[in-house]
Amino acid sequence: MLLKDVLVDEGLKRQLTTLADENRISHAQLFLGKSGSHSFALALAYAQYICCTDRHDGDSCGHCHSCVMFEKLQHPDLHLIFPNCTYGEVKKDPDSQKLANYFREFAFANRFHLDYSEWVKWLKSENKQVNINIRDCAYIVGQNSMRSYENGYKIYILWMADKIQTAAANKLLKTLEEPESQSLFILLAESSDQILPTILSRTQLVKIPPISEEHIKQHLIDEEHLSAEKAADIAAIAEGSYLKALRISQEDSSLHHLLTTYNLLMKSLTAYLHDKRDYARIDYLKVSSMLTDIAKDGKEAQRTLLNYLSRMFRNELLLNTGQSSLVKATADEWKVLDEHRQFFTIKNAALLLNDCNQALYHVERNINAGILFTDFYFKLLMDLSKK
């Protein structure tokens, strides 16, 4: 992975390469960035740069033996550690080494731009504990006591370090504090809240900012060959995540379906507020059928809808309180938002967002979806009326 292909701030890339060029590499670094911030791709490109034998112009060469091995994720001094569980041929005592081939397939399929929820789906393990375990950390400790294969750096990339089990994390403390020479630990996390303070205190923090709308738009035009108009629409709602932008571009019909669902739901709710006896406009039978379909679609589709409703409710509030510059929406969404904006206030928007969060909470706990979404509709109705 070349640094030029990683969609992150150019200043951050220069900062990392300068430290490598001046041999001032901190032995333990925490790359902190939200999902879609390309932290794994950056860590991989940075590691490749450090090990490259012919680096120039602020990047690795891409063709030396070391770079070729990195492109295959098979460099002997690159150690990938990631959340894991039993899967495929691994029936017990899973660890990152046993699942290495599966992880490589996942990384290549996603072009090194990784997302934890997608990895969990890849493993078909939504009902399992997927974490970095004590066997992974024992492997790190053991490898760190050995010499590197290529007489250079031994590099450990711990993807989703916030998923390390507490007992496993404690096993790493001494190694992180007193590693062997030319050992580099790159911990990747979306949030520092779940990482032990003793781990945090031993790492140098590298914050990875969200990707700008303009960068996402241009990348979608150049790499995904989208029209400028469509790329701008997607970039506007991607919330700084290129992964989310890719997902939206690949599921354009899904986005249209979500907007149609939102519009139908709001038309029914607002019709009731206008005249509770106007049964034709309320059209509860159609809404009830829609809710039944949602209940049958499975947890992932239900999560997607509830997160979409949350974003639209926030946008409605911003629009109605004169903060349209903060609205993140496509051109089609703007039209629908403008139609319903008058019904949203600071008071009821907070209640509606809480309704979405509560519904998400119950989806995760496998509450009967039919009952859940019927109840959700009437909660929205009650809270939307509170102006």
The structural domains of the chain, with segments of one domain joined by +, span 3-209, 212-250, 251-384
From residue 84, alpha-carbon distances to 121, 158, 160 in Å are 12, 12, 11
DSSP 62: S
149: how many CB neighbours lie within 10 A of its CB? 10
State whether CATH 3.30.450 applies to domain 251-384: no
Please give the model's pTM, rounded to 2 decimal places: 0.74
Residues 6+ apart with CB under 8 A from 99: 82, 84, 87, 88, 90
SS3 for 156? strand
Could you read off the pLDDT tens digit of each residue along the chain, which spans 387 residues?
A: 999 999 888 999 999 999 999 999 999 999 999 877 789 999 999 999 999 999 999 999 999 999 999 999 999 999 999 999 999 899 999 999 999 999 999 999 988 888 898 899 899 886 788 999 999 999 999 999 898 999 899 999 999 999 999 989 999 999 998 888 899 999 999 988 888 899 999 999 999 988 888 888 998 998 888 889 888 888 888 878 888 888 788 765 678 889 999 999 999 999 999 898 888 899 999 999 998 998 888 888 898 899 999 999 999 999 999 999 889 888 889 999 999 999 999 999 999 999 999 999 999 888 899 999 999 999 999 999 987
Terminal C-alpha separation, the chain = 53
Residue with tokens 């406009």: 281
Token pair recorded at residue 154:
């031994």
Q: Are the folds of 3-209 and 251-384 the same?
A: no
154-158 and 183-189 beta bridge pairing? parallel
State whether CATH 1.10.10.10 applies to domain 3-209: no
